[in-house]
Amino acid sequence: MHGAAGRMGQRILSLALAPDAGFSVQGGIDRQTGSLRSLNLPSDAPVLAALPVAPGTVVIDFSHHSCLPAVAEHCARHGMPLVSGTTGVDPAVLEPALDAAAVRIPVVHAHNMSVGVNVLLATAATLARTMGPDYDIEIVEAHHNQKKDAPSGTALAIADSILAATGRTRADLVDGRSGITGARPKGQIGMHALRLGDIVGDHTVYFVGGGERILLGHVAHHRDIFAQGALRAARFVAGARPGRYTMAQVLGLG
């Protein structure tokens, strides 16, 4: 587990260490070294400062965005399948790193690994395609006040699914609005980020036009939905051929 001391890392490890989970946890990677017991987890597996060489071992990565290229390169060089939910990575850095790794290992990277969110992504694309260009689309996300990136990776994934379905690009996105903005340009998608208290994750997509409004939303009640998805992805890559895979493929959504 790369990023073992983080909130997601600890939840993933806790679920993976359950007696009926079916995983063999080899250890964690983080700045705080020692053993998993130092993180209040029931295992003497080590917490190391750097990834070991362990061919065939699946690496789950929920760490700082600056680490991902090096993690992907290490995993590819040593034959270690990779599952990453790290967000906030510049696409110009993320995509080449994952593409290069996927030549040698199976790779799953997703901004959100919950089943519900991945159903939402598919539904948002279908709605955008069906409603057509006369419907305005806005995406609003809310997260806890400690989240470091905005808009959230999940909000961007929702936007990307809509953009792909309607032939638009990220040039059509705008992050909030301020001042005298003028009339809303046709085809623009607004992205709005709220940071409040201990919210795990709320996402709402508005489709408005023709005298009606459709709201498509997802609310995460706890982080275990993401941890469970990451473990499903780990099982998937453990038996997959080299290549890049989506959570839709992991979950059999097509």
Domain count of the fold of the chain: 2
Split at pLDDT 50, 70, 90, the class of 223 is confident
Q: Compute the average pLDDT of residues 6-20.
A: 95
Give the sheet arrangement for strand 189-195, strand by strand.
Answer: 173-175, 189-195, 136-143, 201-209, 212-220
Is pLDDT at 88 greater than 90 in this prediction?
Answer: no
Active-site residue, 143 included: yes
Residues 124 and 102 in one domain: no
Q: What is the pLDDT of residues 33-79, one digit of tens each?
A: 999 999 999 999 999 999 999 999 999 999 999 999 999 999 999 99
Q: Is 18 contained in some domain?
A: yes
Is pLDDT at 203 greater than 70 in this prediction?
Answer: yes
Q: Cα–Cα distance between 162 and 193 in angstroms, integer?
A: 18
Q: Tell me which of 74, 111, 143, 218 is the catalytic residue.
A: 143
CATH number at residue 18: 3.40.50.720
Q: Compute the average pLDDT of residues 92-104.
A: 97
Residues 214 and 230 in one domain: no
Q: What is the pLDDT of residues 134-193, one digit of tens each?
A: 999 999 999 999 998 899 989 999 999 999 999 999 999 999 999 999 999 999 999 999
**Tokens coding 181:** 């903005």
Q: Tell me which of 64, 65, 78, 147 is the catalytic residue.
A: 147
Is pLDDT at 87 greater than 90 in this prediction?
Answer: no
Please enumerate in sequence order all residues whose Cβ is within 8 A of that of 118, keeping only pairs 6 or more positions apart, or say none.
Answer: 110, 112, 229, 247, 248, 251, 253
Sort strands 189-195 and 136-143 into parallel, antiparallel or unpaired.
parallel
Residues 181 and 232 in one domain: no
Is pLDDT at 30 greater than 80 in this prediction?
Answer: yes
Q: Is 2 contained in some domain?
A: no
**Tokens coding 132:** 């057509």
- Choose between 254 and 248: higher pLDDT: 248
What range defines the domain where residue 58 resides? 7-109+223-250
Q: Cα–Cα distance between 82 and 244 in angstroms, integer?
A: 10
Angle value at C-alpha 79, between 14 and 99, nearest 5 degrees: 95
Q: Is 1 contained in some domain?
A: no
Residues 212 and 159 in one domain: yes
CA max distance for the chain: 61
**Per-residue model confidence (pLDDT) at position 230:** 96
Q: Compute the average pLDDT of residues 227-249.
A: 96
| 151 to 147, 148, 160: CA distances (angstroms) | 10, 10, 13
Residues 50 and 78 in one domain: yes
**Per-residue model confidence (pLDDT) at position 99:** 98
- CA torsion through residues 131, 132, 138, 139, sign: positive
Rounded percentage of the chain residues whose pLDDT exceeds 70? 100
Residues 180 and 208 in one domain: yes
Q: Is 46 contained in some domain?
A: yes
Specify the 3-state DSSP secondary structure of 32. coil
Residues 130 and 156 in one domain: yes
Please enumerate in sequence order all residues whose Cβ is within 8 A of that of 168, keeping only pairs 6 or more positions apart, or say none.
Answer: 162, 187, 189
Q: Is 58 contained in some domain?
A: yes
Residues 216 and 245 in one domain: no
Q: Is 82 contained in some domain?
A: yes
Q: Compute the average pLDDT of residues 208-228.
A: 94
CATH number at residue 176: 3.30.360.10
Sort strands 106-109 and 82-84 into parallel, antiparallel or unpaired.
parallel
Please enumerate in sequence order all residues whose Cβ is within 8 A of that of 236, keeping only pairs 6 or more positions apart, or say none.
Answer: 106, 108, 245, 249, 250
Is pLDDT at 254 greater than 80 in this prediction?
Answer: no
Residues 75 and 151 in one domain: no
Q: Is 159 contained in some domain?
A: yes
Residues 19 and 64 in one domain: yes
Compute the mean pLDDT over every residue in the chain, rounded to the nearest whole number.
Answer: 95
Residues 105 and 132 in one domain: no
Q: Compute the average pLDDT of residues 26-35.
A: 95
- CA torsion through residues 107, 112, 114, 117, sign: negative
Residues 16 and 87 in one domain: yes
Active-site residue, 147 included: yes
